[in-house]
Structure formats: structure tokens, C-alpha cells
Amino acid sequence: DAGITQSPRHKVTETGTPVTLRCHQTENHRYMYWYRQDPGHGLRLIHYSYGVKDTDKGEVSDGYSVSRSKTEDFLLTLESATSSQTSVYFCAISESAGGADSPLHFGNGTRLTVT
Amino acid sequence: EDQVTQSPEALRLQEGESSSLNCSYTVSGLRGLFWYRQDPGKGPEFLFTLYSAGEEKEKERLKATLTKKESFLHITAPKPEDSATYLCAAGSQGAQKLVFGQGTRLTINP
């Protein structure tokens, strides 16, 4: 397995509270991604990073922010959680942009429930 | 807009009964077509990358093929441990992201 650790694995939070999910990699890959997976929508990209302090938005970025202060860590923050953000969140890494030349490797996800 | 569609949504087979999963894609300049396997409660696990029409890749009972509009994942004589959701994704020229299909949930009955 690629060295990707997501924490926490499960979290229940209340509407309006801030939440931070962490992704830690030991592969020294340049590119890191946050996806969410929902029934009927598949995997959708939230934000991605192409280097330390270099990030960009994906297709469903509203309500989310990210930070990457070290190569190995990529944080996803929900500033004020809403019920629509109840989902399973996956972190992924790749050696090249978009995973087009080398595949994405995924962590085992964080199941987030917003009540 | 780049799009990936997988069919069927779900497929139930008997052990040993071969079949194929379909992935249709519409992307501007395919850079790579990827297949993943996902088990319940786990992240997707990479299986294959295909780059050009006519290319084939094999791994145990799985073989992936690619045409200019579709990719197929052929499963030969499947076993119960092949039960999983299979995802395909397409990367396009210059894009910083993959587009994923919604997956096919495969169940192999003993």
C-alpha cells in the first residue's frame, strides 16, 4: 500500500462547526488531492496541491479550504460544516499532474457526518 | 465537458461466469484511462493504465482494453474475492485532474 494516512477515519460534527481532515504521505510525491465520494456522484475533486503552498480548486471547492505547509501533509478544512458536506473524503497522491502519467494512490478515507 | 460513464451500475455473476464491464469516455485528448478496484470501507486501488487505442493490460483474471471511445474490463472465470466496485477514470491533455465514472458494483456468487 502507498504510504497514505488519513485522520480521523470517522467524525461526527454539528452544523456550523469547523472541521479539519488530515492527509499524511510518506512517498514524497509532489501532487496531493482531496476528493469526496457520494452515491450517485462518484468521486469529485475538491482541491489539489502541486507543491508546498501551491494549491488550486477542483470542481466542488465551495465551502472548503486547504493548506500544504510540508510536502507530506495536506489539510482539508470545512470552515462551517453543513449537512451537504456529509460524505466520505479521500486523499490521493501522484507523482505527476492529474495522475495522467502515473496513477493516483488513495488513502482509506474519512467518513464525515454533519448533523 | 469531459465525461466518463460506466455500465452496468451493478452486475451479479456466478463464480466462473465471465463478463465485461464498460467505460465510455468523452475527453479532449485522452492522456490516460485508469481502472481502479474499490472494496467497502477502503480507498480505490489502482489496477491498470491504458494510453492508446488497441492497448491491453492483464492482471490475473482481469484484462483491460481500450478503443477510441470505450474501455472494457474483462473478467475471466471470476472468484468471489473479485467482488468489489470497479471504477474507471480518464485524464485529458493539460488537465490537472481525472474524471471518474460512477463505478460498477460487481458481485460474484460462489
Higher-confidence position of A41 and A85: A85
How many domains in chain B? 1
Q: Can you name the CATH fold of A4-114?
A: Immunoglobulin-like (2.60.40)
What pLDDT is stored for residue B103 in this prediction? 96
A99 contacts B41? CB cut-off 8 A = no
Domain with residue B102: its CATH number is 2.60.40.10
Q: Residue B80 and residue A39: Cα distance in Å, rounded?
A: 24
Name every chain B residue with its beta carbon within 8 A of the beta carbon of A27: none
Q: What is the pLDDT of residues A104-113, one digit of tens each?
A: 999 999 999 9
Place of cell 465551495: A62
Show Cβ contacts of residue B11 under 8 Å, excluding neighbours closer than 6 positions. Answer: B19, B21, B104, B105, B106, B107
User: A99 is written with which cell numbers?
Assistant: 495522475
**Pairing mode, strands B19-26 and A110-114:** unpaired
B41 contacts A106? CB cut-off 8 A = no
Q: Residue A105 and residue A99: Cα distance in Å, rounded?
A: 9
Name the residue range of residue B31's domain.
3-109
Chain A closest-CA separation from residue B75 CA (Å)? 21
Q: Residue B35 and residue B16: Cα distance in Å, rounded?
A: 22
Name every chain B residue with its beta carbon within 8 A of the beta carbon of A90: 43-44
Nearest residue, CB atoms, B43 vs list A45, A99, A107:
A107
Give which of B30, A85, B12 is closest to B21, Cα–Cα.
Answer: B12
Residue A100 pLDDT exceeds 70: no
Please provide the size of chain A in residues.
115
Average pLDDT (A70-88) is 97
pLDDT, mean over chain A: 93
What pLDDT is stored for residue B46 in this prediction? 94
Q: Which residue ranges make up each domain of chain A?
A: 4-114
For the beta carbon of residue A69, count every other beta carbon within 10 angstroms: 10
| Residue pLDDT tens, chain B, 110 long | 889 999 999 999 999 999 999 999 998 888 899 999 999 999 999 999 999 999 999 999 999 999 999 999 999 999 999 999 999 999 887 666 789 999 999 999 99
Q: Which residue of B has its CA nearest to A50?
A: B96
Name every chain A residue with its beta carbon within 8 A of the beta carbon of B91: 98-100
Name every chain A residue with its beta carbon within 8 A of the beta carbon of B49: 103
